[in-house]
Amino acid sequence: MKIPLSKAHIPQQVYENLNQVLTSGKLSGDGTFCHTVEKKFSQILSIKHTLLTSSCTHALEMAMLLLEAKEGDEVILPSFTFTSTANAILVAGLKPVFCEIDPLTMNMDMRDVEAKVTNKTKAIIPVHYAGVACEMEKLNDICANKNIMVVEDAAHAIGAKWRGKHLGTLGDMAALSFHETKNVICGEGGALLTNNDYLAEKALIIREKGTNRSQFLRGQVDKYTWIDKGSSYILAEPLAAILDAELNIMHELNKKRESIYDFFMQELRPLAEKEIFKLPFIPADCESNYHLFHIIMRNESDKHTLIAHLRNKNIGATFHYIPLHSAPAGLKLGFKVGDLPLTEEYSQRLLRLPLYPDLSQSEMQFIIEEIYNWSKLQ
């Protein structure tokens, strides 16, 4: 038995959609499936504008360009995130300012966020870790009347909610991910979300190599030309076809994840009560999409020994992010080890277990049995 950390679920409709695309001969972006999926997302999420992109990284880059900030302006983000969040800031010529995490959720600590706001702060990027919302009410209070934009990194969060509203719709802009490891996938892909008409129109220009081609295709101009800076951020039509099929079963996929998550919580609670590790926490006002399942070990040594034990049994357990402020690129920017002690400690103790819709009951039980077998050796 070999159990990977994640595994893509490919419904039959994917093959049917791809056959339709290949038969049509329309393979580049901005095609029928692209338009269909954008409309579906806008309807499901209750968001005015959805722009599919070639990755979540590119959606974040677009968002940073849309800030229209000047070089040296600051963007606050957690250090406990993927490199794309920080790279998007740097690509736009802006300065990343890393903040501390709340160990309960591994999301950004709003007290530290508020302490790091300056007159140079142009945006704050809440990263909804594991599909659990950041403290959005506190964040909105921090940004109120300060002309600071909120750009949600909702890479983990498709289908998750905060107080009944979808994550990705709670700020000025948001980025989604449809990478192979996410809840809804197309291999590589993303989306930029916004309710702001001005930002959406500017985003269309950036996405189309700095041209007004989108206006041309809508019949608003008789020819298109170079308007502003931009790049090639459009999702290819075959990938949109895959995404369309996945989106149609998003609720079903997330419910399967929830069932697996609940099983792990129930079965691992006795070990958590013995303080072998801590289980994940979902605040009452959050509705998760159960993107991943993580536990916080007592120390880094326990994490390494449990990972080694599980991998020896062909179970794909792993660590997660290396804090960006203490990574080589972060050190070059002037940050140092010790700047964010909670981020450093808890990232060293965090361990991820396999979680994907097609994980079978026998596989789940095997994972649990091996965790208990490891615990007996401690």
Question: Which of the four pLDDT bands, split at 50, 70 and 90, describes residue 139?
Answer: very high
Domain that holds residue 75: 12-247
Sign of CA dihedral 272, 275, 280, 282: positive
Q: What total of structural domains would you count in the chain?
A: 2
Q: pLDDT at position 288, please?
A: 99
Whole-number mean pLDDT of the chain? 97
CATH of the domain at 325: 3.90.1150.10
Q: What secondary structure does DSSP assign to 74-127, as a single string?
A: EEEEESSS-HHHHHHHHHTT-EEEEE-EETTTTEE-HHHHHHT--TTEEEE--B
Instruction: Give the residue-averaged pLDDT of 259-278.
Output: 99
CATH of the domain at 163: 3.40.640.10
Q: Which residues pair with 127 in a beta bridge?
A: 153
Answer yes or no: is 4 within a domain: no
Q: Say how many residues make up the chain.
A: 378
Asked about 182 being catalytic, the answer comes back as yes
Instruction: Give the residue-averaged pLDDT of 229-245.
Output: 97
Q: pLDDT at position 219, please?
A: 84
DSSP state of 253: H
CB 77 within 8 A of CB 37: no
Cα–Cα distance, 60 to 152 (Å, whole number): 9
Answer yes or no: is 1 within a domain: no
Burial of 320 (0-12, 13-18, 19+ CB in 10 A): middle
Q: pLDDT at position 362, please?
A: 98
Answer yes or no: is 367 within a domain: yes
Q: pLDDT at position 9, please?
A: 98
Cα–Cα distance, 335 to 348 (Å, whole number): 18
Whether residues 79 and 160 fall in one domain: yes
Q: Which residues pair with 283 in a beta bridge?
A: none
Whether residues 112 and 144 fall in one domain: yes
* Residue 318, SS3 per DSSP: strand
Whether residues 164 and 258 fall in one domain: no
CA distances from 285 to 79, 137, 229, 256 (A): 24, 11, 40, 21
Closest CA to 127 of 91, 169, 174, 87: 174
Answer yes or no: is 232 within a domain: yes
Whether residues 273 and 308 fall in one domain: yes
Out of 219, 247, 275, a domain closes at: 247
Check pLDDT > 90 for residue 215: no
Whether residues 109 and 60 fall in one domain: yes
Phi, psi of 120 (to 5 degrees): -100, -5
Answer yes or no: is 2 within a domain: no
Answer yes or no: is 5 within a domain: no
* Residue 64, SS3 per DSSP: helix
297, amino acid identity? M
Answer yes or no: is 3 within a domain: no
Q: What percent of the chain has pLDDT over 90?
A: 95
Whether residues 89 and 25 fall in one domain: yes
Out of 247, 274, 299, a domain closes at: 247
Residue with tokens 């919302």: 133
Helices (H), 158-228: 197-207, 213-217
Q: What percent of the chain has pLDDT over 70?
A: 100
Q: What is the pLDDT of residues 277-330, one digit of tens each?
A: 999 999 999 999 999 999 999 999 999 999 999 999 999 999 999 999 999 999
Whether residues 174 and 309 fall in one domain: no
Question: Which of the four pLDDT bands, split at 50, 70 and 90, describes residue 378?
Answer: confident
Q: Which is more confidently placed, 152 or 377?
A: 152
Phi, psi of 185 (to 5 degrees): -130, 160
CB 148 within 8 A of CB 76: no
Q: What percent of the chain is helix, strand and coil (3-state, nearest 5)? A: 45, 15, 40
Q: What is the pLDDT of residues 353-364, one digit of tens each?
A: 999 999 999 999
Element (H, E) at 351: strand 350-353
Answer yes or no: is 189 within a domain: yes
Whether residues 105 and 168 fall in one domain: yes
Whether residues 243 and 255 fall in one domain: no
Distance, CA of 216 to chain centre = 32
The angle, 0 to 180 degrees and rounded to 10, between the axes of the packed helices 250-273 and 237-247 is 60
Q: What is the pLDDT of residues 166-205, one digit of tens each?
A: 999 999 999 999 999 999 999 999 999 999 999 999 999 9
Whether residues 155 and 275 fall in one domain: no
CB 342 within 8 A of CB 100: yes
Cα–Cα distance, 85 to 267 (Å, whole number): 34
Check pLDDT > 90 for residue 145: no
Whether residues 91 and 228 fall in one domain: yes
Give the other-Cβ count within 10 Å of 134's Cβ.
31
The catalytically annotated residue of 182, 202, 256, 303 is 182
Whether residues 232 and 291 fall in one domain: no
Out of 216, 231, 247, a domain closes at: 247
CB 289 within 8 A of CB 159: yes
Dihedral angle over CA of 152, 153, 159, 161, nearest 10: -40
